[in-house]
Amino acid sequence: EDLCRKLRPAVIHAASNHVNALPALIVAKRLGIPFQYEIRGLWELSRLANNPDYKRSHNLALGLELEGYVARHADRVFVISEELAQYAKEHWRIEENRLVLLPNCVNPERFTVEERTEQGHRHPILGYAGSLVAYEGLDVLLHALKLMESPPSLEIVGDGAARASLEALASSLGLLDTVVFFGRVSPKEAIKRLKSWDMVCLPRRADMVCRLIPPLKLVEAMAMGKIILVPDLPLFRAETGNLGNFFEPGNPQSLAQVLANLLQGRDWARQGSKNRQYVLERRLWRHFVPQILALANNRKESPC
């Protein structure tokens, strides 16, 4: 509140989650400043997906209710997906005219296409970059590789609670010559690794959080012209503009078949080009930033 009195902001924009947003809402109401809330994740649902026992905790319902409380009192609510917008309407009674889509986007100059002229003459590389947690479904991907006669090389970048169990699973499946775990790396190194991949797989499970919250790494990979493998859920259909290669979530056989079809066809340049074009046309930050600034532009002078 002291900072707002000093800076005299025209609008307060808070992002997930309620631990951050509720104090911002209180200050905005005290000072009469327009307030908007950007929901980019539901942390309680993420925790539930990684720990089913959390369903018995009162903190699950409490946390989701606090999310709804902040959203109901915001002048505008930005949501990361249309599926999350529907959730907000059904569970928190948020009016549709206060909900605005603000999806994952990129600045295109940061994610360029790597020329891969040798593509048809080398072993293909499949990659994953992100948190190593249960709901990401990386165990499904490992089981899928085991089912294949000639699987691609798999590079996994990132760290998390599931890393030890995933490394043990890769060993027990006899995939140590196929899978490399790089662990946590710098953003620069992560992009370097991503550029070397032919395909990116995001094998998320069908948990509620996976049905509502899309990963930023998906649009980043599409911007780099990578082939995308994602679960066949409405969220991922929408996120990719139906340009992904879809498999049944949680089903290693389905994923293995989709991978095998991709390796046999190898029409990757055309698919990758379509993916990047989709991002350039629909998922650049400059397409959405004006909506964020609208409240501030309409406010002539801060009342505080």
Q: Convert 196-220 into a string of H (helix), E (strand) and C (coil).
A: HCCEEECCCCCCHHHHHCCCHHHHH
What does the alpha-carbon distance between residue 236 and residue 90 come to, in Å, rounded to a whole number? 21
pLDDT tens-digit series, residues 28-83 = 999 999 999 999 999 999 999 999 999 999 999 999 999 999 999 999 999 999 99
Q: Which one, of 172, 171, 178, 167, lies nearest residue 145 by Cα?
A: 178
Q: pTM value?
A: 0.90
Provide the percentage of residues in the chain whose pLDDT is more than 70.
95
Q: In what order do the strands lie in the sheet with 153-157?
A: 179-183, 153-157, 125-129, 199-201, 227-231, 245-247
For 122-169, how does the pLDDT look when each residue is reduced to its tens digit (9 = 90+)? 689 999 999 999 999 999 999 999 999 999 999 999 999 999 999 999
Per-residue pLDDT of 142-155, as tens digits, reads 999 999 999 999 99
CA separation (Å) from 164 to 139, 160, 183?
A: 12, 9, 11
